[in-house]
Structure 1
Amino acid sequence: MADRLNILVVGPHPDDQEAGMGATIARLAADGHNILLLDMTNGEPTPLGDVATRAKEAQAALEVLDQGTGNVQRRMLQLPGEARGYRDDTSAKVSDWGANALPNRWIEHTIEARRAVAGVIREHQAQVIFTPFFEDAHPDHKATTKIVEDARFDAKLTKAGLPGERIYPKWMFYYYATHLRWVANPQFCMDVTGFEDHKVRAIEAYYTQFVLPAQQPIPNAPVAVQSSQSQIPGAAGATRRPVKEWVHASLTYFGSRIGRPSGEAFYSKEPLGLAGIGGLVR
């Protein structure tokens, strides 16, 4: 590999990165890139989960995507209460600021959140950032993307009292893990042929979110839909789709748009430059 890139993949909750771009993460790890998964919250509360269990699930998903390469790390954002204060100490770490992880449903666009994410960007020296697509029904997803966009700018500032050396990541891409019922029209698709099962297994590692719900009655549904398979949660009364079926349907569709068996979709607000025409998928 010519260049090993530092890549930051931000998710509002543990499982969003896997659902949105799990196959791409697995491919990037296999390609030798240095990947950090940043969870903005601990993911709880949810109907069947708890904080300790979600942490174990997130670790299990990481191991699936890492494939034993050691190229994928994971951390949870520690939102510092004293982040407004200025400290001219670039050797300090975000974790030194002494704070706790946010719970599910509590992500807000604040200066503290921006600074915390900017600190992670600088610590990781991220050259590429992936964050959720900005149009979404989930408030946590929308807030996360706004925070990350602004933190990208903050990470380059001098005299900012942030840890690490300043950096402005060259590329910011948006993955699709949206709660809206629409089909993405991406600017580019990553060929993830051969990494489909990694995405399925990483999603299924979140047992309380995708496996256990399949064994429970759907709340307020007239008829409980039971299955031994892991399933994508649906609205009350809706039939849930098995994870493997849902993943392969999406990967196959976006793969067909680039002439490959499987693909994952991404968006960029900025033009992408090509060093040559030879890198295009043929």
Structure 2
Amino acid sequence: MKLDILAIGVHPDDVELGCSGTIINEVKKGKKVGILDLTQGELGTRGTIETRYAEAARAAQLMGVQVRANLCMRDGFFIDDETHKMQLIKAIRRYQPEVILANALEDRHPDHGRAGKLIAEASFLAGLLKIQTTDDEGNQQERWRPKYVLHYIQDRLQEPDLVVDISDVFDQRMLAIEAYTTQFYNPDMEDDGPQTYISTPDFRESVVARARMMGKRIGVRFAEGFTTQKSLGIKSLDALIQNET
């Protein structure tokens, strides 16, 4: 299946926290969007691998994405090497996305930054002719390089290069995040393991506050921010005027 957009997160719930509003926006416009989780989130303090898969499936349904897959890399211990890059290259060539949404290049959780760099490098390498890969049926894959890799902003605040208005879909975005009932604050499941940094009511409030702050940057209620190593370009200033209206 060729996708317009592939959102990649090292942990199930990274995509929901970082760019689910943008995903929902694009799905509503008829874009084909998929999600690729790199690990099963098996080191998470609360919940299990099984509950994480169920939560991820529920969140995917709420966002309306076409596909969600998992590469089953080792949570906390995957490394940026040839083996892991080749896994990602094969996935990128399989889905042939025009845009990839990826983990931040630097963040509080060391997996985030390591994954962000891994995704960026694999996205470039996937376009090289002399790196040969085959699909699950043994057929040679065509090379493919996405036009843009955009890194969503995670725990640590960064200066965005691009800000996306998600005001119209904010409630749906929060439902997708809250699908992770074992991870985030849920008064009905307070006994589902010890409290963590992300399971408190304060963390949920910070998620809303971040979206409000990003929205304020562009004069809307809620927004999501992205960074990019590639400059964003437009063909004419009309694009700015149309966006403003």
| TM interval, short-chain normalised | 0.7 to 0.9
SS in 2 for 1:40: strand
Q: How far has the Cα of 1:160 moved from its partner? A: 2.3
Q: How many residues are aligned here? A: 234
Specify the code of the residue in structure 2 equivalent to 1:233: I
Task: Determine whether 1:114 maps to 2:85.
Answer: yes
Specify the code of the residue in structure 2 equivalent to 1:253: M
Q: 1:8 aligns with which of 6, 9, 16?
A: 6
Q: 2:206 aligns with which of 246, 251, 262?
A: 246
Q: Is the 8 A contact 1:196 1:248 kept in 2?
A: no
SS in 1 for 2:124: helix
C-alpha distance in 2 between matches for 1:212 and 1:73: 27
Partner of 1:264: 224
Partner of 2:95: 124
Task: Determine whether 1:174 maps to 2:139.
Answer: no
TM-score by length of 1: 0.76
Q: Is the 8 A contact 2:47 2:192 kept in 1?
A: no
Question: How do 1:32-111 and structure 2 match up within 5 A?
Answer: 32-66=30-64, 71-77=65-71, 101-111=72-82
Q: Is the 8 A contact 1:115 1:154 kept in 2?
A: no
Partner of 2:179: 205
C-alpha distance in 1 between matches for 2:211 and 2:39: 27
C-alpha distance in 1 between matches for 2:50 and 2:126: 31
SS in 2 for 1:241: helix
Structure 1 range deviating more: 266-275 or 13-22: 266-275
RMSD: 2.3
Partner of 2:190: 215
Partner of 2:198: 233
Higher helix share: 2
Structure 1 range deviating more: 193-202 or 247-256: 247-256
Specify the code of the residue in structure 1 equivalent to 2:168: G
Q: Is the 8 A contact 1:42 1:55 kept in 2?
A: yes
C-alpha distance in 2 between matches for 1:217 and 1:27: 33
CA displacement 1:74-101 (0-9 Å, x = unmatched)? 1001xxxxxxxxxxxxxxxxxxxxxxx2
Partner of 1:195: 169
Specify the code of the residue in structure 2 equivalent to 1:39: D
SS in 2 for 1:266: strand
Q: Which runs of 5+ in 2 are unaligned?
A: 135-140
Ranked by relative contact order (alpha carbons within 8 Å, sequence separation 6 or more), the top structure is 2
